Amino acid sequence: MKIGIIGGSGYVGSELLRLLLMHPEVEVTMVTSRQNAGEFIFNMHPNLRGLTQLKFVPQDLSELQKNCDLIFTATPHGGSQTLVPPLLEAGLKVIDMSADFRLKNPADYETYYGWKHVQPEMLKQAVYGLPELHRDEIKSAQLIACPGCEATAAILGLAPLVRAGLVDPDKIVVDLKVGSSGGGSKPSVASHHPERSNGVRPYKVVGHRHIAEVEQELALLGGPVKVSFTPHAVNMVRGILATIHTFPKQPLTSKDLWRTLRGMYGNEPFIRLVKYLKGPYQLPDPKIVMGTNFCDVGFESDEHAGRLIMFSALDNMVKGAAGQGVQCLNILMGIDETTSLKSTGFHPI
């Protein structure tokens, strides 16, 4: 399959290239960038030096149609709304890495993103690109909307409990620690390294945009839920750790929880259940999933407070973005879902 990437100069574009250039079943034929057209890709992404001689090219619909079968759109939020429709009309499949087609309710874009969606009729057409929940729909999709990284961590940590109806749906608190790459390749004052380093900074502590995704997807599993959601910027480049506080409807044993988690994730290639009694990594830790498409999920019961704590850890650039996009691509192509994604993390790192 011939692949094009629109907006290939950012961090997500870089990770897509890293994975797709090593993919045995695809060929990357075009990578667009308005600012870097004519430059070798490895000048912007030095880790790709020696892997490709491709140059960034201007965005041209006729050239994309001529040279590609599927397009990854890795543009800033809001940019894909007008970009995707002509790609679909040209007969191309699209995997969108932005937020522009993730939400089914157009009003949620006004509430959480502050703009009115210009293609609301297309929202129902898009398939939410979380394979663990939508694998069958992804197989025949024309437009796949990849989830947000923080939303992915929250949903995967909560989905088994919500599907089984084990916890109070109105008392879910998601606390996330997030690496700086989640802010993209163009820093703001807040994401500038000297301002971020050596700190733990809460941001968007209420009304975070990913709440809409989390509530939307969990509602499909067990009815409406209400999620409290607060991320923190921490001193790491990659990774997300979600600590999720839930309150069971009735007492749950460890055996109950293992049965519930294995019932949903037992055959999932990129979900690992992590709960050990020895060693420093007894529960999920983003350090262990760096560079991989794994999401590690674990739990701990707090009998004193009647609380069940779920933990999920992932690399925001891989399972939280590009890796998930490639996983969806593999499903769409009907090939082994793990193609080009079978890699372990580094330890130590």
b/e sequence 43-57, b meaning 16+ C-beta within 10 Å: ebbeebeeebebbbb
- Is position 149 annotated as part of the catalytic site? yes
Beta bridge partners of 233: 178, 201
d(CA 170, CA 132): 23
**Of 68, 146, 149, 328, which one is the catalytic site residue?**
149
Q: Which whole-number Å values give the CA distances from 176 to 113, 198, 210, 314, in the listed order?
A: 20, 17, 12, 11
Q: CB under 8 Å to 136, separation ≥6 — which residues?
A: none
As a dihedral over the C-alpha atoms of residue 320, residue 325, residue 326, residue 327, rounded to 10 degrees, the angle is 80
208 with 230: CB under 8 angstroms?
yes
Q: CB under 8 Å to 107, separation ≥6 — which residues?
A: none
Question: Which residues have a catalytic role annotated?
Answer: 149
